[in-house]
């Protein structure tokens, strides 16, 4: 296997591992939505406050998944390691 082939293979594996970062935000957002719905059920008067806080937390959690996606795209299509050969 050539050096270029090894870099491409390791980059593909790294991109797959980077996409695993999408699991955490998905689970976290599901838990947050469930707890938010439960809180609104217990106190319907605080619906606006609960929903805005929950949505802000979900937006922050989503950035983790997006960073993993960007890293995977960089490794697959704009691979900076190939220029180091």
**Distance (Å, whole) CA 68 – CA 74:** 10
Instruction: Give the angle subtended at the CA of 77 by the CAs of 72 and 83, to the nearest 5°.
Output: 110
6-42 tens-digit pLDDT: 989 999 999 999 999 888 888 988 998 999 999 999 9
Q: Which CATH superfamily is domain 3-80 in?
A: F1F0 ATP synthase subunit C (1.20.20.10)
The predicted structure's pLDDT at residue 81:
79
Q: What percent of the chain has pLDDT over 70?
A: 99
What's the predicted TM-score (pTM) here? 0.75
Asked whether the predicted pLDDT for residue 73 surpasses 90, the reply is yes
């Amino acid at each position: 296997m050539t050096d270029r082939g090894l870099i491409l293979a390791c980059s593909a594996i790294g991109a797959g591992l980077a996409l695993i970062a999408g699991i955490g935000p998905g689970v976290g957002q599901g838990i947050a939505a469930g707890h938010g719905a439960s809180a609104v059920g217990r106190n319907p008067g605080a619906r606006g406050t609960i929903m805005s806080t929950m949505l802000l937390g979900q937006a922050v959690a989503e950035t983790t998944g997006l960073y993993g996606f960007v890293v995977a795209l960089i490794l697959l299509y704009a691979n900076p390691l190939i220029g180091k050969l």
